[in-house]
Structure 1
Amino acid sequence: MKILTSDPARFANLPDYDFAEHWTTVDLGEGRSGRMHYVDEGPRDAPVVLLFHGEPSWSFLYRKMIRPLLEAGFRCLAPDLIGFGKSDKPNDIAFYTYDRHISWLKQWRDAVCPQNAGLFCQDWGGLLGLRMVGEEPDRFDYVVASNTFLPTGGTPSPAFLAWREFAKTSPDFKIGELLQRATATERTEAEIAAYDAPFPDEPSKAGARAFPALVPVEDGMDGIEQNKAAWKGLESFDKPFLTLFGEDDPVTGGLAPHLVERIAGAKDMPHATLPQCGHFCQEDRPAELAQGVIDTAKKAGVF
C-alpha cells in the first residue's frame, strides 16, 4: 500500500476557496502516518465550530458557509478527512474502516481543538461527528445536523443500495459530476473541477470508493455495536441540537425525525426541511445553514 500525497498545482485558483493551509500528522495504523489538511479561519480565541464533510467531498464544500460564520464571530475549523481533499490518501480500499476514520478525526481534534466546540455535520461528517458527540458529549456545546444519521443496522433503502453498488463497481467514478447530480442548484465548471481536484486517478479514489460500503446499515456490520453505545450518550445530549435537512435528498432526506425524536436537546428546536436543497446542502442553502449554526450557538450561550 502507498500513502498518496496531493499535487498542490491541482488546487490552484479554486473559486471562493483562498483559505490558508494548515496541517497535522495522524497515526494511520499499521506503523504508518499521514498528513491531514484543514481550514482554520477566525480569531484563535473565538467560539469554535467544527465543520465535518462527508462522501465524496472535502472542505471546499464549506466555502460558502465559512464567510458568514466568520462575520458572526466564529473560528471555523474544517478538516479534510484522510483520503479526501488535500489530506493524504492510502490507496488500498481495504485499509479504510469506520473505526480508523473515527481515530483519525479524533486525533485531529485533540491536536487542533482540545477545547469545547460546536458541530455542523453532513453525510459521513455526521456518521463520524454524531458518534463523537455520543462518546464525548461534554466536549460539544451544540450540534447542527444535515442530511446525515447514526445507523445501527436494519434494512437499507433501495436508493442507498444503488449508491453503494455504484461506488463499488462503476468504472467511471467522477467526483465532480456526483456533486453536480446531488445538488438542487447548478455547479459551475470551476466548482466541478474543484471537487475533482483531490482525485487525479483511480488509486486516489480509494477512500471515496470505500465509504459507502462502511455505512453500518445491515445487521452484523462493523460499527453497529459502537454506534449503539454512542447512541446512549447522543440520546441524553441535552444541549441545543438542530436538524436542517434538504427536501430533495433521496437517500437521507427523510431521516431527520429519527434524530429529533431521540435526542434530548432536539426538543422544541426550530427544525426545518429546506426546499430546493439536495444532499450537498452546503452548496444549495449555505446562508440558511450558517444562520442555523449562528442561532443554535446563541441558544447554547457561546456568544
Structure 2
Amino acid sequence: MDILRTPEDRFTGLPDYPFAPHYQEVDDTQGGTLRIHYVDEGPSGAAPVLCLHGEPTWSYLYRHMIPVFTAAGHRVVAPDLIGFGKSDKPAERSDYTYARHVAWMTDFVKARDLNGITLVIQDWGGLIGLRLLAAMPERFARVVVANTTLPTGDHPMPPAFESWRAFSQEVDPFEAGRIVYGGTVSKLTAAEQAAYDAPYPDARYQAGAREFPMLVPATPDNPESQANREAWKILRGLGTPVLTAFGAEDKIMAGADAVFQKTMPGAAGQQHTVLPKAGHFLQEDVGPELARLTCDFIARG
C-alpha cells in the first residue's frame, strides 16, 4: 500500500479539541502496518467508553461528549478509522474494504486490550462496531446505537441514502466540513468545518472517505452481505444491553432504531429515545445530552 499521513500542523489550534494524541499500529492485511490515532481520556483503569465515528468524520466528532464522560469518572477511547482524522490513509480506493475496516478495528481493540466496553456507535461506526460486538461479545458490556444500522442488502435502501451515495461520488471538491454541516440541525462554525477538512490536505488523502459510501451492503450480493447476516444471527441471541438514541431529523436512518429494539434482546425495557433538533451527526447537535444519556445507561448497570 501507498500510505499517506496528514501533517500534524494541519491539526493545530482546532476548536474544543485539546486532547493528547495516541497511536497504535495494526496489521494492514498485506504484511505491513498502519497507524491508528486515538483519543484516550479519563482514568486509565476504568472500563472504556469506545466511541466509533463514521463518514466523513473523525474523533473530533466526539469532542463535546468526551468531557462529560470523563467528568463522570469514565475512560473514553475514540479512534480515528483508517483513512480518517490523524490515522494513516492508504492512497488507493481499492485499499479500502468493509472487511479490512473490521479487521483494522478488531486489531485495535485487541492491541489496546479493551474490555468491559460501552460501545457508542454512529453511521459507519455501527457497521464496524456491531461486527466487533458479534465477533467478540465478551469484551462488551453495553451498546449505545445512534443513527446507524447493520445492512445486509436484503431490503431496499432508503431514497435518502441513494441520493447521498450519488452525491458522494459526484461532488467535486469533496468537502467533509460542508457534508457534516448539511447533516446537522444546529450547524457548524467555519472553524469547525475547517476541522473536519483538516485531515485532507488535497484529494489524494480522501480515498477512504470517497470509498466508504460504496462499501455499504446495499444489495444482497455485496461481498459483506453474508458476513452481516451471520453477525445478525449472533446479535439476535445476545443479552448485551442496548440503548437506541436517534436524531429526529435524520432522514437516512429514520426507523432503524425500531429494528434494533425489536431484534436485539438486550434492547427490551431500555429507555430508548429520539432526540429532537438532532440530525444525522447528533454528536454535533446534542453531544452533551447523548453523553449524559450514555452515563445514565452505564449507571443503571
TM bracket (short chain): over 0.9
Find out whether 1:67 has 2:58 as its counterpart. Answer: no
Deviation per CA, 1:245-303, whole angstroms, max 9, x where unpaired? 00111101321101110000000111111111000010001122111211111222xxx
Cα distance in 1, alignment partners of residues 38 and 30 from structure 2: 24
Cα distance in 2, alignment partners of residues 32 and 138 from structure 1: 28
Counterpart residue number, 2:233: 232
The residue identity in structure 1 corresponding to 2:159 is P
- The Cα shift of 1:116 comes to 2.4
The residue identity in structure 2 corresponding to 1:120 is V
Higher mean alpha-carbon deviation, 53-62 vs 112-121, is at 112-121
Counterpart residue number, 2:34: 34
Contact persistence 1:137–1:233 (CA under 8 A): no
Find out whether 1:21 has 2:26 as its counterpart. Answer: no
Deviation per CA, 1:214-259, whole angstroms, max 9, x where unpaired? 0102110011111111112211221321000001111013211011
Counterpart residue number, 2:137: 137
Counterpart residue number, 1:256: 257
Counterpart residue number, 1:275: 276
Cα distance in 2, alignment partners of residues 182 and 233 from structure 1: 32
Find out whether 1:87 has 2:106 as its counterpart. Answer: no
Higher mean alpha-carbon deviation, 166-175 vs 270-279, is at 166-175
Q: How does 1:141-156 map to 2 (within 5 A)?
A: 141-153=141-153, 154-156=155-157
Counterpart residue number, 1:295: 296
Counterpart residue number, 1:10: 10
For residue 29 of structure 1, give the secondary structure of its aligned residue in structure 2: coil
Runs of 4+ in 1 over 6 A off after TM superposition: none
Deviation per CA, 1:169-224, whole angstroms, max 9, x where unpaired? 22221110001010000211110000000011111000000101101021100111
Cα distance in 2, alignment partners of residues 138 and 28 from structure 1: 25
- The Cα shift of 1:82 comes to 0.3
The residue identity in structure 2 corresponding to 1:12 is T
For residue 37 of structure 1, give the secondary structure of its aligned residue in structure 2: strand
- The Cα shift of 1:33 comes to 1.7
Counterpart residue number, 1:215: 216
Counterpart residue number, 2:123: 123
Counterpart residue number, 1:77: 77
Higher mean alpha-carbon deviation, 47-56 vs 232-241, is at 232-241
For residue 278 of structure 2, give the secondary structure of its aligned residue in structure 1: coil
Deviation per CA, 1:71-118, whole angstroms, max 9, x where unpaired? 001000000000000000001111100000000001111111332211
Structure 2 unaligned residues grouped into runs of 5+:
none
Contact persistence 2:48–2:114 (CA under 8 A): no
Cα distance in 2, alignment partners of residues 113 and 283 from structure 1: 29
Q: How does 1:44-59 map to 2 (within 5 A)?
A: 44-59=44-59
Counterpart residue number, 1:203: 204
Number of aligned positions between the proteins: 300
Cα distance in 1, alignment partners of residues 88 and 133 from structure 2: 25
Structure 1 unaligned residues grouped into runs of 5+:
none
Instruction: Give the TM-score of the pair, scaled to structure 2.
Output: 0.97
Counterpart residue number, 1:244: 245
The residue identity in structure 2 corresponding to 1:258 is V
Cα distance in 2, alignment partners of residues 115 and 242 from structure 1: 19
Contact persistence 1:253–1:279 (CA under 8 A): no
Cα distance in 2, alignment partners of residues 171 and 71 from structure 1: 41
Cα distance in 1, alignment partners of residues 278 and 114 from structure 2: 33
- The Cα shift of 1:2 comes to 1.8
Cα distance in 2, alignment partners of residues 222 and 32 from structure 1: 24
Cα distance in 1, alignment partners of residues 234 and 90 from structure 2: 32
Percent of matched pairs sharing the same residue: 46
Counterpart residue number, 1:167: 168
For residue 251 of structure 1, give the secondary structure of its aligned residue in structure 2: coil
The residue identity in structure 2 corresponding to 1:101 is H
